[in-house]
């Protein structure tokens, strides 16, 4: 081979090694409006032997990405997609609308470089060639895989190494985020790689019994169940007992009767993730296993979940995203192949939040106040109890905060490091149902400043 060719190949591989992110660059998503920021998506292999590969989507900040922090977003489930739910339904730059994408003017990449991770393996486009590994996924393996992902992702994107890093997410991310953050702190004792600046988790599962048993009062106070059923739901069989029995495959007759009564009164035509607004009827009627049809204010598409599924199952979209379907026929919002260890749900993560605060990591817990799945009352109780245990004094008394000229929610801050906030009128997926208010909250969190107390 001629010397010039050898030199060319050598230069090519050197450049390729130092610019791995270029191979994952998205030129333009099908149907996408013109934007001025860069997008990337692809895979990071976290286990070479079993070819465990996690899929990510990365949207750089709209302006001056070099000065903006890096934010990792994790959806919950466990087993639901941060790409389809987080990026394309909640706080990403685009929303599907028919055959095209429309710009989300309240995208979180207006304030940060947003990294969406489909985790754990078996979720969305993430996969393993050893499908038996899907049955061995739990909190511990998920946390380690997510840590390995970030380590290797920084090899692809070395310009983001040591950038201010925030972990965000919702629901079961109440497990994912604190567990990953604690692993980062342990890793940093040997190699200072992660410049972790804080975590923010919405409607999170932090302590199984407190979070789940607050559902009964929420149902009753919003008129979804009767006085008689409320009494049964709080004395005869509460929700944490029912879930515990269900996951162990042994639901008692008394719990079965109580839950049957609760289900009849609340109705399948009310979305438990947002009890006040309309449901997507076409989605509800077509699902034999109802996940949670989206529902939001009039200016947002209530059937965006259906449109996201259609969009991400287009071959041209998958090719542009550099995405593969391995072991499955279709991309789904929540995994059909993942066998997560559901009893991990009962492991409290509120003690981990306490250890993070002791280590100096700011934590924000926020709640969409129309969510009955993980109601605000449970989260508020847990955060107040934690503040008392840590000896944190109230630095911002419980008060309203504003978005524009309207009340955006309520907030309380302890010791300038632990914060609780509600988002008024928001669902379990707060950035989806109240995008503008969620963006105000997110911006204040990144900047470490109080939520607006006046308009």
What is the set of active-site residues? 171, 371, 428
Nearest to 401 by CA among 335, 357, 445: 445
As a whole number of angstroms, the distance between CA 57 and CA 321 comes to 8
As a whole number of angstroms, the distance between CA 447 and CA 453 comes to 16
| Contacts (Cβ under 8 Å, ≥6 apart) of 170 | 75, 76, 201, 202, 203, 204, 428, 429, 430
Structure tokens, 5: 């060719």
As a whole number of angstroms, the distance between CA 32 and CA 186 comes to 41
The torsion angle over the Cα atoms of residues 235, 239, 240 and 245, rounded to 10 degrees, is 100
DSSP string, 19-68: TGGGGGEES--TTPPP-SS-EEEEEEEEETTTTEEEEEEEE--SS-GGGS
As a whole number of angstroms, the distance between CA 55 and CA 359 comes to 30
Residue pair 418/392 in contact by the 8 Å Cβ criterion? yes
As a whole number of angstroms, the distance between CA 133 and CA 122 comes to 9
As a whole number of angstroms, the distance between CA 108 and CA 45 comes to 27
Residue pair 129/136 in contact by the 8 Å Cβ criterion? no
Q: How many CB atoms lie within 10 A of CB 135?
A: 12
Strand 363-368 to 196-202 pairing: parallel
The torsion angle over the Cα atoms of residues 103, 114, 116 and 141, rounded to 10 degrees, is -170
As a whole number of angstroms, the distance between CA 330 and CA 174 comes to 28
> In angstroms, how far is the first alpha carbon of the chain from the final one?
71
As a whole number of angstroms, the distance between CA 229 and CA 236 comes to 10
């Amino acid at each position: 081979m001629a010397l010039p060719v050898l030199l060319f190949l050598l230069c090519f591989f050197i450049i390729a090694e130092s610019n791995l992110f270029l191979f994952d660059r998205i030129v333009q998503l099908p149907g996408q409006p013109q934007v001025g920021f860069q997008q990337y998506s692809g895979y990071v292999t976290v286990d070479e032997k079993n070819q465990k590969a996690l899929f990510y989507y990365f949207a750089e900040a709209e302006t001056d990405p070099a000065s903006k922090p890096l934010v990792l977003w994790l959806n919950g489930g466990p087993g639901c997609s941060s790409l389809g739910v987080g990026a394309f339904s909640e706080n990403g730059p685009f929303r599907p609308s028919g055959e095209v994408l429309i710009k989300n003017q309240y995208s979180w990449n207006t304030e940060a470089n947003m990294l969406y991770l489909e985790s754990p393996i078996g979720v969305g486009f993430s996969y393993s060639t050893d499908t038996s590994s899907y049955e061995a996924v739990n909190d511990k393996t998920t946390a380690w895989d997510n840590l390995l992902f970030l380590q290797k992702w920084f090899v692809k994107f070395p310009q983001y190494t040591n950038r201010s890093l925030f972990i965000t997410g919702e629901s079961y991310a109440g497990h994912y985020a604190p567990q990953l953050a604690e692993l980062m702190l342990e890793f940093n004792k040997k190699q200072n790689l992660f410049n972790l600046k804080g975590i923010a988790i919405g409607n999170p599962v932090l302590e199984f019994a407190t979070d789940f048993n607050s559902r009964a009062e929420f149902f009753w106070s919003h008129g979804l169940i009767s006085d008689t059923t409320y009494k049964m739901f709080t004395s005869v069989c509460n929700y944490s007992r029912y879930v515990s029995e269900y996951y162990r495959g042994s639901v008692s007759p008394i719990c079965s009767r109580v839950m049957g009564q609760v289900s009849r009164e609340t109705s399948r035509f009310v979305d438990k993730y947002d009890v006040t607004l309309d449901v997507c009827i076409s989605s509800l009627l077509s699902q034999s296993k109802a996940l949670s049809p989206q529902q939001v204010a009039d200016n947002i598409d209530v059937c965006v979940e259906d449109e996201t599924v259609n969009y991400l199952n287009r071959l041209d979209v998958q090719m542009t995203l550099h995405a593969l379907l391995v072991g499955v026929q279709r991309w789904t919002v929540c995994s059909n192949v993942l066998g997560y260890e559901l009893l991990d749900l009962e492991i409290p993560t509120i003690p981990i939040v306490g250890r993070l605060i002791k280590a100096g990591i700011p934590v924000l817990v926020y709640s969409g106040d129309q969510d009955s799945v993980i109601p605000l009352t449970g989260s508020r109780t847990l955060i107040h109890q934690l503040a008392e245990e840590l000896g944190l004094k109230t630095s911002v008394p419980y008060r309203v905060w504003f978005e524009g000229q309207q009340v955006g929610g309520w907030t309380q801050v302890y010791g300038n490091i632990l914060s609780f906030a509600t988002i008024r009128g928001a669902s379990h997926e707060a950035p989806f149902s109240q995008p503008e208010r969620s963006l105000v909250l997110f911006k204040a969190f990144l900047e470490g400043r109080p939520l607006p107390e006046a308009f």
